[in-house]
A and B are shown apart, each in its own frame.
Chain A
Amino acid sequence: MQAFAALIDGLIYTRSRDLKIRLIADYLRITPDPDRGWALAALAGTLNIATVKSAAIRAMAEERFDPMLFRMSRDYVGDTAETVALMWPDKSDGDAAPSVSEVIDLLNSTSRARAPAVLAELMDRLDANGRYALLKLATGGMRVGISARLAKTAFGQAFGVSVDDVEEVWHALRPPYTELFAWGEGRTKRPDPADSAFFRPFMLAHPLEDGSVYLDEFVAEWKWDGIRIQIASTGGETRLFSRGGDEVTGSFPEIAAAFNNIGVVDGELLVRGEVQGGEAASFNALQQRLGRKNVTAAMQAEYPVFVRLYDILFDGAEDLRSQPWTARRDRLELFTAKLDPARFDLSAVIAARDFEHLAEIRAAAREAAIEGVMLKRRDSPYLAGRKVGLWYKWKREPLVADCVMMYAQRGSGKRSSYYSDYTFGCWTEDGNLLPVGKAYSGFSDEELKWLDRFVRNNTVARFGPVREVEKSLVLEVAFDAVHESKRHKSGVAMRFPRISRLRRDKPAEEADTISALRAMID
């Protein structure tokens, strides 16, 4: 367990992708089976210990610690597992530390009711770093900035095999992947991929910045604001993958079930109804579904999802990736015609005379689900990653409003302990401030430090973790759209608000009014 804990901490403190890969590769080479296989599964997100849920960890903490002190600590640290690991009294000198496979065996062989006690016994045998790794392992959420793809890349590097070969056999195997390591070490033949559907890396776009392109060379499509996914089907099985190559089939089973064709396609997952404007909450629902391994029928009914297709990589077994976009587009249209129109449609090509015309069309588009415009070279093959000059994304200009900071709360994750989540308001006709939104991004690290200090030095009241501040700081807030909302007292809500500038020069009285915001509703 100590070696695994050291690996996890190494990954947390290392920023370079190459160094992360090297750390994982070194661990996989040195560590014996089956520990390394469980670790690989934990990093790739395929380890699922059914007996331990994060609620069990909270319960374990609340049983041992004063709930108020625990909440204050959790609020400061920004991560439940880490808080528990740090608060847990040190009882071990590290000698009795369990191995990764002992942990897995113990937790898998217990019941959900007994799991907290088993976990507590294991905690007593570890130091603070070991306890952290244990809790992360048990709940399955490592959050060390590793995608499934990166874990497989590290495996490939550790044993000198190609990552595509790893992808192809991956889904035919189960943790702790002993056959995979046997093959990697050259002790056995490559495992049989067993007709498995696997991930191919996405093609990505560069931002257009201030440039322009000729539309006889480039085709324009809308950039839809959903979740980019890849669907791969062998006929025998269908799998959905997110941008990082993580499998998300379990989150959207209705899409996998409806996909009745063989091939690999690239598209955007959207919620029906949202496309024609509507509540921003539906996108949040989509994201929540993404985080789940299983979804209920009720969620499926409440948020009907479909996929808007951008591209085709494989038609049947035929690899189309080296063909130009125009040829792939023809094939995609034929391919999509055979799919259920309730679940799949084509991302339309924008008919624009020239670039200026396109700019007008883009400026006029205020539909909530449109994030901007994609520009794709007509002769471009489908290549992994971001390649210069082939695909561009041209996001639409945001709306902005000057708002006044009202409340602040500490962030979590990267921003833990900083006051980084801000509630801001605009003025009513009779001179009151009402909250219109909440934002926690858009500022630089330097600005965050300044904002944090501002909050600390200008607190007028505290409500648990929330601080009310002096209503003196104007924040320029950028957002994609504004719409009516019954949930906010102000009657309006912003879509994707973020802080675009700190207006320390501007007096609070001169911030925008709610009626000015209202005028921006489409």
Chain B
Amino acid sequence: MHEIRDDVAALAGCGHEISLIHAVYIAPATAHILITKRTADISRTAAQHWIEPHAHGIYVKPADMWIDPSRPAERALVTHGHADHARSGHGAVWATPETLAIMALRYGTEMGTPVPYGDGFEHGGVKISFHPAGHVLGSAQILLEHAGERVVVTGDYKRRFDPTCTAFEPVACDVLITEATFGLPVFTHPPIEDEIAKLLAARAANVDGCIVVGAYALGKAQRVIAELRRAGYDAPVYIHGAMQKMCDLYAAHNVPLGELTMATGLAKSELKGAIVIAPPSAMNDRWAQRLPEPITAMASGWMRVRQRARQRNVELPLVISDHADWTELTDTLLELRPSETWITHGRTDALGRWCELHQLKARALDLIGREDEDEG
């Protein structure tokens, strides 16, 4: 078996080389091989830490609590409402009031303990507090303090201006557990004003048709609408039926979105010149065939890569992301300078490599089940 592995590694032309002089970066799947070879001291530190990364979530041992567990847990701390972080079926949930409202909308009767930004509580000798992450409405970083150590779990975050949610606040820490969805140096999100201008220009050039914008139903859709308003677009924005309730929820949380009209059921003639926002799944669906000569747009950080747009049959790619881009990720690490960085999901190997180059101690966790390719 090992012979075959070596074959493939040689074929690929790149075994992982780990430098132990300045920094340590452990690639997730090769970690077990390395431990047997030489990094016993590192693995011991990790294994004995009071926070344990598991494939299905982050476990806070003294408090017996899970952060964003992907399977039902007795006690869950939830960073934000996206389905890959907030699941149903937990015993007790702690989250921001906004996130709890989103979970209630999505899962029905779910209850939990609201923890507003800046507030904290103690459980099992761990002090737990929630801080704005700037990702979507209610999104939070979670600060955990125990045994004189401060650990921040970022959840998903971004540092750009977003009229629909509270801006990210940097929180000093010893260990930063960060996302890396756009953790490759090719990802620089352009200013959102440019992308909105592209959308408005395409609309102006296509008055007999319409523009259908694929946007994730929670967060991205509302941000695109709010940015259209900020750019002075005051015509009704047409939305797919699946987005109505989430838009209402945003409006109820003091995020004005202007006049919204349901696109479903309208005649083609009524939608001429319209901007229609729909979940990405509806784009290549029969639903979209009822629109008058639609131009297919997609609002996502993945649109930065041409072939990604082509793979999704996108004609008008809009590079709009609710995640930190490469510069934001690396600037945040330089700003906080944690003594250790754990990378939960996304392009973990590249951000790990960057940490190595900048002499920051890092390890990749590679949690499974994060829908890192669909939202963004």
Contacts and interface: CB of A to CB of B under 8 A. Distances in A.
Interface residues of A, number: 51
B20 interface: no
A466 B308 contact: no
Contact of B8 (A65, A87, A407, A452): A407
A313 to B, nearest CB: 36
B184 A73 contact: yes
A132 B310 CA distance: 16
A435 interface: yes
Interface in A63-114: 65-66, 68-69, 71-73, 76-79, 82-83, 86-87, 90
Given A87-B186, A468-B5, A468-B8, A416 B30 contact: no
A459 interface: yes
B209 interface: no
Contact of A73 (B12, B350, B373): B350
Given A86-B186, A86-B188, A76 B307 contact: no
Nearest to A460: B29
Interface in A432-470: 432, 434-435, 445, 452, 456-457, 459-468
Nearest to B55: A457
Contacts of B15: 463-464
A468 B33 CA distance: 14
Interface stretch (A8-16, A117-125, A182-190, A284-292): A8-16
A62 to B, nearest CB: 14
B313 A15 contact: yes
A37 to B, nearest CB: 26
Contacts of B36: none
B11 interface: yes
Nearest to B190: A128
Nearest to B349: A72
Interface string B303-327: 0111111110111110000000000
Contacts of B33: 461
Contact of A13 (B317, B357, B368): B317
B353 A13 contact: no
B125 interface: no
A464 B350 contact: no
A461 B315 CA distance: 37
Contacts of B306: 9, 12-13, 79, 82, 132
Contact of A461 (B30, B347, B349): B30
B5 A463 contact: yes
A32 interface: no
Given A13-B317, A86-B186, A464 B13 contact: yes
A464 B311 contact: no
Given A13-B316, A464-B12, A68 B5 contact: no
Nearest to A78: B307
Given A13-B309, A71-B14, A417-B308, A65 B185 contact: yes
A413 interface: yes
Nearest to A71: B14
A518 interface: no
A466 B29 contact: no
Interface string B53-83: 0000000000000000000000000000000
A466 B186 contact: no
Nearest to A433: B4
B50 interface: no
B225 interface: no
Given A73-B184, A86-B186, A414 B310 contact: yes
Given A12-B310, A466-B12, A457 B368 contact: yes
B14 A463 contact: yes
B314 A13 contact: yes
A415 interface: yes
Contacts of B316: 13
A498 to B, nearest CB: 19
Most B Cβ at <10 Å: residue of A66, A69, A432 = A69
B30 A72 contact: no
A505 B312 CA distance: 28
Q: Which 5 A-B pairs have the closest CB atoms?
A: A464-B14, A463-B9, A86-B186, A464-B12, A416-B307
Given A73-B185, A414-B310, 20 more contacts: A13-B314, A13-B317, A14-B315, A68-B353, A69-B185, A72-B349, A73-B184, A76-B184, A76-B186, A77-B305, A79-B306, A86-B305, A87-B186, A407-B8, A416-B311, A417-B307, A417-B308, A461-B30, A466-B9, A466-B12
